[in-house]
Amino acid sequence: MSRIGKLPINIPNTVNVKIENQIINVMGPHGQLKKKISDFLIIKINNNEIIVLTKNNSRQARSLHGLYRTLINNMIIGVSNKFEQRLEIKGVGYRSQVQDTTLILNLGFSHPIQLQIPVDIEIVIEANVNILIRGINKETVGQFAATIRNKRPPEPYKGKGILYKEEIIKRKVGKSGK
């Protein structure tokens, strides 16, 4: 049995959880999320706590036990407090801006890079170089942050590029002159 899967999930007072036909529906002050639960698992709600149980002791049920407990916990955290990811742009002339539903990045290429912002994500630009990505779904927030970072990953010689806030880049020594 999974150590993480055994832990109960506390439901805050502002969050409402419903389970119908192996589909869990979590509603909170910031939005609503739905997820289909595997047939190997049973979800029970007791006194503002969710408990995830396995139907049998098969290998697949054991492997999904901790995963689904964490996914449900992330859904509850997301609808009560949004997830955030911060990115920092370093480099001369590198900047970002938001127009309608498009994120425009100027990263030293001959053309600006335009990315469509997903519907459930909110982006805040601070001082043209700090990007704050906020949303209720942890997976989409993390994936969109990784997509942005992938457009110009930080390079080890000068440290230019897009990096996560407080990420440490191991710097390399350049060529040594004679």
Please name the fold of domain 3-80.
Outer Surface Protein A; domain 3 (3.90.930)
pLDDT at 134 over 90: yes
- What is the DSSP annotation of 68-102? HHHHHHHHHHHHHS-EEEEEEEESTT-EEEEETTE
pLDDT for 1 equals 62
**83-164 shares the fold of 3-80:** yes
| Residue 73 banded pLDDT, cuts 50, 70, 90 | very high
Select the CATH number that applies to the domain covering 83-164 from these four: 3.40.50.2000, 3.90.930.12, 3.40.50.2300, 3.30.565.10: 3.90.930.12
Kindly state the average pLDDT of the residues 28-38.
94
Instruction: Tell me the DSSP string of 86-154.
Output: EEEEESTT-EEEEETTEEEEE-SSSS-EEEEPPTTEEEEEETTTEEEEEES-HHHHHHHHHHHHHTSPP
pLDDT value for 176? 80
Domain boundaries, the chain: 3-80, 83-164
List strands edge to edge, sheet with 31-36: 16-20, 23-28, 31-36
pLDDT at position 29 is 94
Q: How confident is the model at residue 54 (pLDDT cuts 50, 70, 90)?
A: very high
pTM exceeding 0.85: yes
Q: pLDDT higher for 148 or 1?
A: 148
Is residue 3 within 8 A of residue 34, CB to CB? The reply is no
Q: Mean per-residue pLDDT for 95-103? A: 94
